Amino acid sequence: MTVFAAGAVVWRIVEGKVMVLVIHRSAHRDVSLPKGKVDPGETLPQTAVREISEETGLAVTLGVPLGMTNYTMPNGREKTVHYWAAEATDEAVRSSTFLPGGEVAALEWLSVRKACEALTYERDAEIVERFRMLVDDGVTRTFAIIALRHAKATPPYQFPGSDADRPLTERGLGEAKSIVPSLLAFSPEKIVTSSAKRCRQTVEPVAKLLRLEPKVTDRISQDAYEDGTSDVRGLVGKRVRKRVTTVLCSHGPVLPDIVREVALATGTAPAATLSRAGDLPVAGFSVLHLSVDRPGSGIVAIETHVPQ
């Protein structure tokens, strides 16, 4: 059985230069990137944030996904590790709770080149090389537009009221809670939701934990979309200009338009990944990573997550 793990290339700016964090592991006597195995019930983004905190004492937000590595462990089992880029802010570094221990003996900040040379395993160096591409392209600092489809709602034929008033089912309420850890890994600062009850209920658990008041609007509702009064372009354009990670909760028919408008607003060339990003199951969401410094340079990366 494959073992799944998650981690990140943790980075910061020191005197104008990008520095990468490597860890010196005590038991393994090697130099590695912070990562760890998925605990039962965890999502990969949740694991990455938790493991970084446990190994380095740093609280981070996940940025651009950097792919994965696959290898065979000494016990013969296969291991797959998913990685993200993750900026360590000055505040996070000041607040670090790291102490040398039995698992990690020391932390070291190195230039990208020196980090690649210091890492014990070539597979880790390859992940850092992917991060170097972001640095070279000037798109290291990112924010995200998170396109979220509402969770499972009561079917129209089982609900006597208006479509906008259809509530989530018990399954849907569970899905809305289950996606919270993954959403939290990207640290949304704004939540915008369709005025439909099923969308408002979907964002309620994450909004409560983040202590955010969702912005409720008809501009991305299904009713407005169907009668031609929606304003997906205006809303998306504003969120891209704000350069703040935002959750946009909407409906199956509207989500492809949301993704398309993010692409248009950022000068992104058409691609199959764009259409897939808007084709989401209930409670699924796509994270569209955009450059803070060069938002018109296109979508940097797209990743999609579904409820477990």
Give the predicted TM-score (pTM) of the model.
Answer: 0.96
In this predicted structure, the answer to whether residue 270 has a pLDDT above a threshold of 90 is no
Look-up: residue for tokens 């937000």?
A: 61
Q: How many residues does the chain have?
A: 308
What pLDDT sits at residue 73? 87
| Mean pLDDT value of segment 274-302 | 95
pLDDT digits (tens, 9 = 90+) for 192-206: 999 999 999 999 999
Q: Which two tokens stand for residue 201?
A: 């209920």
For 75, counting Cβ atoms within 10 Å of its Cβ (0-12 exposed, 13-18 middle, 19+ buried), the class is exposed
Closest C-alpha to 44, from 182, 186, 209: 182
pLDDT for the residue numbered 74 = 86
Q: Are 232 and 257 in contact (CB under 8 A)?
A: yes
Location of structure tokens 């477990």: 308
CA torsion, ordered 209, 64, 121, 126, to nearest 10 deg: 170
Residue 308 above 90 pLDDT?
A: no
- The predicted pLDDT at position 173 comes to 98
Q: What is the mean pLDDT of the chain?
A: 96
pLDDT category at 137 given cuts 50, 70, 90 is very high
Per-residue pLDDT reduced to its tens digit, 76-130: 899 999 999 999 999 999 999 899 988 899 999 999 999 999 999 999 999 999 9
pLDDT per residue over 173-198, tens digit each? 999 999 999 999 999 999 999 999 99
Alpha-carbon Rg for the chain, nearest whole angstrom, is 20
pLDDT for 41: 92
